[in-house]
Every structure is written in structure tokens, then in C-alpha cells.
Structure 1
Amino acid sequence: MNGIPLNPRSRALVLGASGGIGSEVARQLREAGWQVRALRRGGAPSPASSSAPGVQATNPALPEAEHIEWIDGDALSRDAVLRAAQGCALIVHAVNPPGYRRWAQVVLPMIDNTLAAAAATGATVVLPGTVYNYGPDTFPVLREDAPQQPLTRKGAIRVELERRMQAASERGVRSIVVRAGDFFGPRVGNSWFAQGLVKAGAPVQVVREPSARGIGHAWSYVPDVARTMLELIARRDTLPAFATFHMAGHWDANGMQLSEAICRVARGHGLEPQRKPFPWTFVRAVSPFVTTLRELMEMRYLWREPLQLDNARLVAELGREPHTPLDEAVEATLMGLGCLGAQERMQKAA
């Protein structure tokens, strides 16, 4: 990856390297010449263990897995994280509980372990941020200095997580937070795109639309997010000790542009999907009995009001924001998720 200078201690630890954002950051770090180490229970993932839901035969993240030093361990174990971080100049904290479950029990202990390891090794911590930290009082345009007054339990946990990072920066632990809209990408199976708008592993027949017409929403293509992180990592020594940046990503101004792009791309592959509203009424009825659906209902406010991220600070630092054209990003995502129906297309996405 041209233009990203290596550090003499160019070893990085990625927590969550088998997930959507973690695997992409790990891949791009490898391409940039970093030695990548990953901590994961069970060590290296098998093809089936890290595929998107419903995707068979190929695992888009697997080609990079063999070039990563996989260490068996748990991000909830401070000793395991400390051991894995030895000799690392960077810790990418991209680990989250799956399906919105157990946030209260595990999110803060995991960041505490990462910060302890960074303090012990001198590593910089990089975090994919969320918009959960903010309530509607900061909408419709979200800037880095906006007050963090969340509406939800998950939002309050994320606020505390970043507060602990900022407090650690006052003790010498450097951190970078890159905040973006809803993630999508060819390796991202746990996402609104893959689990709400389309059905991963099957040709696109229906595209569900969570937003009401006219309600804008921010989306971020994960390879662009990872590229942004790498460019900021290259500048980490010149950034503030606790540096936060927002990405504009793909701004869906009327809430329909992403679904229109999915249909446009699908038609180019011989499919004719229908667009339908997301079944919020059904989700509300079932949510008392299903944890994941209950958590989705808690976040519905993000689909009821427009939310756009201001990237002025990022552009001032980098000169521009890495950005893949929407149809190109959507096509790669649908290929990687197995939603265009041809196995060779998934292989091409990998």
C-alpha cells in the first residue's frame, strides 16, 4: 500500500480479526507490510467459522488468515491480551459481542484489557467508533465535538468506553477513534445490510428498507473505513493523544438510495428484486422474546431521524476521505455475501 510508511516496530495486534471490520483492517495492514497478530478463542478460524450467514464454500477472509499469526486466547482475559500485545506497536480493538448480546458484561472489560496492554507495550489503540454514543439532540449533522448524550444502554456503554480511552491518553496511551455509519462490505455478515436489507447466502429477491422515505442515513463501506484507519495510523505520532475522526461514508439522503443501488446492481446480474418496507411491526411484536430483535428496536431511533457525519476534521488531516463509488461497493458486497447467485462471483470478490 503505497504512501503508508512502516514503523520499525511494525507489528499489530488485531482483536476481532475474524469479524467484518477486523478482518479488513488485518488484510490491509498485511498489504501495507505490517506483521499481523490476532487473538481469537480457538486460534485460526476455519472457513465455515467466519463466513457470512448462509454463505457456503468460500470464506472471503480466509486467504489472508494464513498470513496472520493466530493466537488462542480471549479478549476478556487480561493476561491473554497482554501476552498477545508483546512487541506490538498497534492494537486494533475491533471486537464486539455478536448479536448485541452481553454488552453490559463484556464491552468495558475488553477495552480495559486493551488499554492495559497498550500501556504496558506503548502501542497505539485504534477503535471503530459507533453513532450509538449520540442522541437526537446532536442530529442531523454529527461532529466530533458534539455532546455524547445517548438514548440507549449500548450507547451509554460506548460513551464510557471512549471516556476510558480518553482518560488513558492522559496517562500516555495514544488512541485513534474512527467513527462511521452503518458498515457494509463483502466480509461483513453481521450488519444491517446483510441481515436486514438482504438475505446473505441467497440471490437478492427482496430488499427491505428500514428508513421511512425522506429520512437520510449514513452508511460506510468497510474497505474505505479500514483504508482511513491505516492512513491515520501512519500519522499517529503527530495526532493528538486521543484523536477522533468522523467519516462521511455514503450518505443516503432520502433513505432509499442504498436499496435503489442494490436493485440496480442485482438487475445487472439478471435478478429482479422487490423493494419492501422493513417489518418493524413484526419485530416489535416478537422482540420481547428474541434478544437480538429487542436490541434492534432500541436502536430504531437511528432510522427515524436523519443522521449525517461531518468529515471536515478527517479531510483537513488527510486531504480527502477514501471513498469507493456506491454501485462498486454494493456489487462487491453482494458478491461477497453470496447474493448474486454465482459461486465464481464470490471468488472474484475475495
Structure 2
Amino acid sequence: MTESRTAALSRAGVSIWLDDLSRHRIDSGELRDLVAQLDVVGVTTNPTIFAAAIGGGIGYGDRIAACAERGLGVSETIVELTTSDVADACDLLAETYAATAGFDGRVSIEVEPRLARDTAGTVAQARELWDRVDRPNAMIKIPATVEGLEAITETIAAGISVNVTLIFSLERYRQVINAYLTGLERARAAGIDLASIHSVASFFVSRLDTEVDARLRSLGTDEARALTGQAGVANARLAYEVFDQAFSSERAVFLRGLGANAQRPLWASTGVKDPALPDTLYVSELVAPGVVNTMPEATLRAWADHGISRGDSVTSEYLESNQLLNHLDAQGIDYLEITETLEREGLGKFDASWDELCATVDRALQEAP
């Protein structure tokens, strides 16, 4: 039999995670089918995903009515609904989790976006969500804000697996890796088994292209236009170089020798937003050993239909990627300003989705029989 495109991608070292979850996906068998047929080995969620899922209403009416009967408020109901979805998805992926020694079979749930600048609040909710889901293959998503760095360290130190999200810049990524390693060191001092702690670092791809390309087009020159559609891939490739160097360091090698796991790079925001670009761009150009690519279903199905993997498309491209960022700098594209803008806008979008989710749940609780 001819190997499927998703199986070939997996064999090349890429773990395919679905960037979506809903009660309907679980109850209808859709998620189980994607696991069985398209080599999906993990799931990620975020406030926008849950706002769409719960706002859509399918599968949540009876659950919201039960929450209303119990007298739960809006925030309590959201936690009840989302942790229940994540726990059930974790159960569905339990065999994958066992078969991969904990590297895959993971389902992520994010702390409330309003806590992104609140270190203590993030740590407290990370513990609450971990306890509520109560599955070893869960991951708690924590945004990589400055305030989130210490929260990442404290959460890892408590033995909780973490998906660090909203990473845009290489410098912030280095800080995230340091936060993870510091957490492992504290966990070791507390007597926690390091092998039980897993983490991924979610590096956002397409959003960088959207922002950079808009600025390049506004310059109106042929030289600027020739650079469009390349920044996101170049930035991610250089992030993999940072990962490779950091986890080859004496500090990381020592911890790995004690059973610790590397914090794997995860490519997020991999749905192509510019119709002029190939719809599988952020998959085919970011194949490397030990990475995760979390895809919206449209991207996953596009890859399954016509994706072509040429194997590792990252580690031989470091020099070219550095040159691309240098060319952007020569065009007056301020990398630091752009990545700071993207972090701020990303948090704002999640805040807006959370507000939408709260309003939806509030209405549903009031209308519940």
C-alpha cells in the first residue's frame, strides 16, 4: 500500500496535532476518525476555539442546563464545559499517549487570557485546570508574556506539563527555554520525577507573515514585494536552531541525563492566510525531527490531499533564514516592534474571544429551563 501523506509526515518527525476541539467532535466520532485516518496524535485549544464551539451550541445545551441547575456562574460553567471536553479528548488519546511514552496524545487547555499579565493568577489557574482535567496527558497553555515566564517556571516546577503559547520572537523563545529548564531544576530539587514533565513551545508562524507582508507591500518596491511570504518560515526555522542549540547545552544535557524531556518546538498559526501562498506552506517548509505542527482541519485535509514532504526542510536553511531577516531589516522592517505588536494583538484577540464566550454562556444560563 502507498503510504499516506500524513503518515509520511509523521515518519519525517512531525507530530500532527489538531488545532480545534468541540463537544460535537468528541461525541460524533469526528475526532476519533481524524486520529485513525489522518494520523492526528494531539489536540490544542484556545479561547477562540472554545468561543466558536460553545457559541455554536451543538452538544452543550444539556450541559449548560445542568450547570444552571447547580447554580454555577459564568466562569464556573466555562471551566466545567472546557475541562470536561479536554478530559474526554485526553481519554480518546490515551492509547497514543501510552504508545509514545507521553510525547503525544496530548490535549492543551489555556488559562484565562485576562491572566496573561498576572503571574500569581496564572499559576493558580494552571493548578486548578490541571486538577480539574485530572489526566496525565493534559497540557496547560500559558502565554509567553514577560509575566508568563515565571508562571511557566513555577508550573513546571510543580510537575505540571505546559504548552507555552504566543511566541513570536527568537529572544522571547530563548527566555521560554530558560524558564522551562529553571522549572525542571526546581522540580528536581523538590523530588519530582523529571520524566513525567513534558512541554512544547508554540511558535506562531502565519501571523508574522501577515504583519510583515502588509508592511512590505506598503513600501511598493519590487525588492520589498520579492520578500513577501517568507518571514514566518524563516523565523520558525531559526527558532528550531535555537531549540537545537539550547538542548545541546551542558545544562540541558545534564537534565536530560536525569530523565528530563526536551521542550519540543510546536508550529502554531499554520493555516495560510494569504491565498497567493500554497495552502500547505507552513507544513512542507517546517519539517524537522521532533517538532509538532498543530493544524486547523482545513490545513490538515489539504495536506492529506496534496501535501508533499521532502523530509527535513529546516536544518539546512539557517543561513538563508538569517539572510532573509537581514534583508527585511534593510527594508526598515522592525522585527522587535512587529513581534511585540503581534503578542499584544494576540492577547487582545483572546480577550475578545473570552468576552464573547462569557456573553454566550451568560445568555445560555439565563435561558436554561
Compute the TM-score of the two structures, normalised by the length of structure 2: 0.33
Q: Which one has a bigger Cα radius of gyration?
A: 2
Higher RCO (CA < 8 A, seq sep 6+): 2
Greater strand content: 1
Relative to its length, the structure with more helix (as a share) is 2
TM-score normalised by L of structure 1: 0.35
